[in-house]
Structure 1
Amino acid sequence: MDMLAFSGCTRGCSDEEAEELKKMRFAFGLVHISMVEREGDSLRREEGARAVSSDPEEVALVLKALGFDKNTQIYIAAGEIYGSEHRLSVLREAFPRIVKKEMLLESTELQQFQNHSSQMAALDFMVSVASNTFIPTYDGNIAKVVEGHRRYLGFKKTIMLDRKRLVELLDLHDNKTLTWDQFAVAIKAAHERRSGAPTHRRVVPDKPKEEDYFYANPQECLCEGTNCHDLFGDRNSSLTH
């Protein structure tokens, strides 16, 4: 719920839910986000500022466009989901095999972690690192660390969603400008080079806030000497963009 509130986007929420999220932002002092809402919620969405996870229907569309079918088992690495089963119903209809840690562990096993949020997050971290494919719908710190750890383990498939591009494509599909096949092709093309393959980390001297997060791509830890050139190629090649 906190990630959805902090994103400043309430698309798909009822008036009551939108008001509840707004109050939460004010409670945390996030007045600047609430001010942006006055210019229209669509602005936050178009900027890619919100988590895709705020709309399970969009998540389902994106996953299907990427080639995942209804037999795919999806592990939801998250705490309490805002709206719970009410919001998950659309996603569950498309992907029935949805599981959470609360479903995989016996109540006696889970009990020792339940009052420790960091330990609950650690369980999600372990499953996320071990999964066949990792797709974070919100690029917070834990998602970045999981991305980097999966690179370290051999560049395991990690699809980093281009949220701004997704908004454009989802809207084009929603207004019938793009057919399903065109939408699926465009979604795959947009993420062809966002799957955790070897790539140089963008470094901006004296501007650490503008460069790529080290833990998401610790390239110095992934190779030695001449092996780095073989793995990452020329910094100016298309692989690095």
Structure 2
Amino acid sequence: MVAYSMCYFGGGKDEEEELEMYRQIHFPALTELRKTTKLPSAAFLRSEGKCPLAPEEAVLMLAAIGFKHSTNVYIAGAEIYGGRHRMAAISRLYPALVSKETLLSSSELEPFRNFSSQQLAALDFIACAAADAFAMTDPGSQFSSLVQGYRMYYGGGDLPTIRPNKRRLASILLKNATMEWNEFETRARKLIQQTKQVHERPVARSIFRHPRCLDCMCRTEN
């Protein structure tokens, strides 16, 4: 996800070379496209909210909107880019940090490893679908869309999904070094408050992410 996003995460030339090598192996079509097409810069993508949140950005958002030190946090997905070093900020503030790899033993995980990665993703889906709150840290992957749609359809408004306006959040995060914490907290909370309502599906939006529409909701007939 990090490589495909074409975003920059502060790792300098080493990061740029590492991600480019990964793209050449796993996303050759994207590599070829870059040779013939001028793609948006990493800075532009970030300003437009197209980049996944780095762990340190995610922890700022969670802390600002009121999640306490004792909160149990489940990390979904594969290995975090940057490894333990990149996870230091969030693990310090939220020590009750777990994943499927820490909750389950190797023998419990083994049956799922014999299949495609979707089997492991199903475990993440179960955890995220049942969580008290689900925070989206990517611009909108298929997995996040499915989780959000499930929670919206079955939650009855009681299974909140934290899906901030990424463009506005990016503008706040870019200024956080020169912003007092109280101001950052106020702006982050206002941002989340504006995007947490449950609406019917907007026109031309994903049916998986926004299942609330006349064609999708269950009806009974007498």
TM-score bracket, normalised by the shorter chain, equals 0.7 to 0.9
Name the aligned partner's letter for residue 5 of structure 1: A
Q: Could you report, residue by residue, the CA deviation over 1:186-214 in whole angstroms, capped at 9, with x for unpaired residues?
A: 1111121322x3312111xxxxxxx2101
Q: TM-score, normalising length from structure 2?
A: 0.87
Q: Secondary structure at the match of 1:91?
A: helix
Partner of 2:100: 101
Q: Is the 8 A contact 2:148 2:209 kept in 1?
A: yes
Q: Secondary structure at the match of 1:113?
A: helix
Range with greater deviation from structure 2 (7-16 or 64-73): 7-16
Which stretches of structure 1, 4 residues or more, deviate above 6 A after TM superposition?
A: none
Aligned counterparts of 1:40 and 1:106: Cα–Cα separation in 2: 42
Q: TM-score, normalising length from structure 1?
A: 0.80
- Relative to 1, partners in 2 of residues 1:115 and 1:79: Cα closer, same or farther, differing over 3 Å? farther
Aligned counterparts of 2:42 and 2:82: Cα–Cα separation in 1: 19
Q: Does 1:181 align with 2:182?
A: yes
> Any unmatched runs of 5+ in structure 1?
204-210, 226-241
* RMSD between aligned residues: 2.0
Q: Is the 8 A contact 2:73 2:94 kept in 1?
A: yes
Count of equivalent residues: 210
Fraction of identical pairs, as percent: 34
Name the aligned partner's letter for residue 136 of structure 1: M
Q: Does 1:164 align with 2:163?
A: no
Aligned counterparts of 1:146 and 1:64: Cα–Cα separation in 2: 22
Name the aligned partner's letter for residue 16 of structure 1: D
> Any unmatched runs of 5+ in structure 2?
none
Aligned pairs for 1:215-230 within 5 A: 215-219=208-212, 220=214, 221-222=216-217, 224=219
Aligned counterparts of 1:122 and 1:68: Cα–Cα separation in 2: 26
Tell which has more relative contact order, 1 or 2 (C-alpha 8 A, sep 6+). Answer: 2
- Relative to 1, partners in 2 of residues 1:103 and 1:63: Cα closer, same or farther, differing over 3 Å? same
In the TM superposition, residue 36 of structure 1 has moved relative to its aligned partner by: 5.6
